[in-house]
Structure 1
Amino acid sequence: MTKRLRSKGNRNHHSKTTVQPPKRHRRTAKFTTMSTTEEAISTITANTLQAKEFPPLRYAVDGYIAEGLTLLAGKPKIGKSWMALDFAMAVATGGLALGSVECRRGPVLYCALEDNHRRLQRRMSQLYGNVEHWPPELHFATQVRRLGNGLIDDLREWIERHRPKLVIIDTFAGVRPQGRREGYEADYSALAPLQELAGDLCVSILVIHHLRKMPSDDPFDMISGSTGVTGSVDNPFVLHRGKQGVTLYGRGREIEEMEQAVEFVGGMWKVLGDAAEVRRSEERNAILEVLEEVDEPMGPKEIANALGKSENNIKQLLFKMHKDGEIKKRGRGRYCAADET
């Protein structure tokens, strides 16, 4: 018997095969139902915020050290500790800091971690030896525990008991957590507990810190460590000595950005005024002195050479001084003192 074999390949030879696209499963977001009291993110509406009333921000040192965490950085031996001691004494007595800045009187805790009692007494005697009684509201500590090892608890207890207006930690290196952690996260997390403590207890905390050796156009970039240091504080200050003198730079969340010319005499710091204005006045006085010493009018190049300054800067300053009546013009581009005939 002959069997007829039918090829499967020939079956449906002329039919078209329809390829079905893969089924796409629609993904739906799954939300966890949570009661209002269990929300992980706490919010406040804009209209509720509008109706809230806050007490005015208070300063320990008016315009400089507000409630919160303030950082004062400078190179070694520039006089950071002298400035800190001036702040401490002025707040403890309700006197003037930096020669003219009003302070809010109250107890002060000064953690002088690089000093001992003998050195502190010597400094106090140098500055306030003529004062019959040093203020009992100024407290010194030369040893404290470190951050991450009990300092925050110790400070909280002391602050709640004495209600100080100002707490000074001199220096940050003396309380910095021990270990080799570096970078933004380490720097930020080291100072963040102090910033939180200052906010919780409405107290001004000042931390003294160092500058790195590498120069920078922005003085705040010279603060030792990463940007986590400045990022974790409310108001950073830099005390920096330049070619034209010492300048106190300040910026932050609670203060106006400033560049103040300051002077250090006999252990005391004094604010001279806005740095740009003070430096300009100094340069004008220098030009007047040069013109008064000669018998003939001088040109910008001669004056610049005598002062070791840029000729372009001197030209601009001479133009302004002539406009203000401080000097007289004699001939083309030559000047003399205003009182010369």
Structure 2
Amino acid sequence: MIDLRSDTVTKPTSAMRQAAFEAEVGDDVYGEDPTVQRLEAKAAEMLGKDAALFVTSGTQGNQISVLTHCQPGNEVLLEESSHLFLYEGASMSAFAGVQPRTIPGVRGAMNPEDIRAAIRPEDVHFPETGLICVENTHNKAGGAIVPLENMQAIYDVARTHNIPVHLDGARLFNAAAASGISVKRYADQVDTVQFCLSKGLGAPVGSVIAGSAEFITKARKWRKRLGGGLRQVGIIAAPGLVALNDMTDRLTVDHTHARRLAEGIGNIQGLEIEGKVETNMVLVNVGRLGQTAEEFLERMKEADVLANPFGPQTIRLVTHYDVNEQEIEKVIERVNDIAASLR
């Protein structure tokens, strides 16, 4: 079975397993786990922030950030198809008591003037705009890279109005690998950032939030409130250190595989590649074959290839560490056979 559902399906490398086995640990709730401390210091340094906090998942990291930045009754501005809005179970409303207000984007990038216009004036009838969220790379836009210039312009608007900006950078290292722009440069355009260790970087679990020392101190309490205060957590932080040390540069391999996948599938009659492939995601429209996404995915599963639905007639394929060049060619071959049987 070739699994292209997500880069979250990667298995930890031998080096990660060994690091977990040998990890020096302590009680992290007491601030005594040296491996977690090294991971947080490494992440903060890479992102150019004062401090960082290891959390269990990207969703937890994003929600801790919203809780730390906002007060109940605030409004949060974010792109209409962002992960924070679509895929986190309305957590910001359930936990933080804030109201999301969505802004349309182009391949995940919001117009800074739309942001400016959406910021609430002082009025007893309105919520206060408490936070602006951006996402890079943008999941629903097929792994699109939000341009640095767009982030800079949004940050300029935010600072003018004294509103913090949070980056859902779950796949920020993919953006950096593809663009040649450092994660630190991207992180310069926001106040706080969350990135995942358990996606393209291949660690088995965990994400990191980074920001000012004051922000991270407050975020640590919210992590505790959400049940995210763990004990000898160095066992799962150690693979995260391996990910940051060994796995960031190789992301370009996944991007090369994604481009090859798009090229091969794009040449198959009846299939259409949606959008531009910039990182490790490929969106394929199967509508011209008279198939729904679910119907086509069932045929792919029978051919030992897994992918995910991404719309009524759109499927998403994600390349990652556990899929090699030969398997990419096999996927193209098998998808071609499926399409031929349907034409």
Q: Assess same fold via TM > 0.5.
A: no
Select the structure with the greater relative contact order (CA < 8 A; seq sep ≥ 6).
Answer: 2
Q: TM-score range by the shorter chain?
A: 0.3 to 0.5
Which one has a larger percent helix, Structure 1 or Structure 2? 2
TM-score (norm 1): 0.34
* Larger Rg over CA atoms: 1
